[in-house]
Amino acid sequence: MRDQETSAPPTAPHDPRELRDPHDLRDPAVPPVPAVPPVPAVSHLASTFERGSFSLARCSCGWSGPARRSRDRARTDAASHQGAD
């Protein structure tokens, strides 16, 4: 039955889908990893602390607010700093 081998084409036409890498089927415009929501590189955890008779706002990013005579003022500074980002 060797005559059948010569009569058949040496390279049988395959399904073109088999020749493609399955990874190529994805849209190249779509990044491989899902987009993550933008998160600030530095987290802002502001808090207030007392210095003498003053209250100051301080943040984990290194920011510190002005000295306030009112603790509420310092707390507002901390809140506005966190909200500004």
- Binding-site ranges for Zn ion (CB under 5 A): 44, 59, 61, 63
- Quick count: other Cβ atoms within 10 Å of Cβ 59? 19
Indicate the residue among 44 and 71 with the shorter CB distance to Zn ion.
44
40: nearest Cα among 66, 56, 65, 60: 60
Indicate the residue among 60 and 70 with the shorter CB distance to Zn ion.
60
Name the minimum Å distance from CB 26 to Zn ion.
39
Question: Cα–Cα distance between 20 and 79 in angstroms, integer?
Answer: 55
Name the minimum Å distance from CB 71 to Zn ion.
19
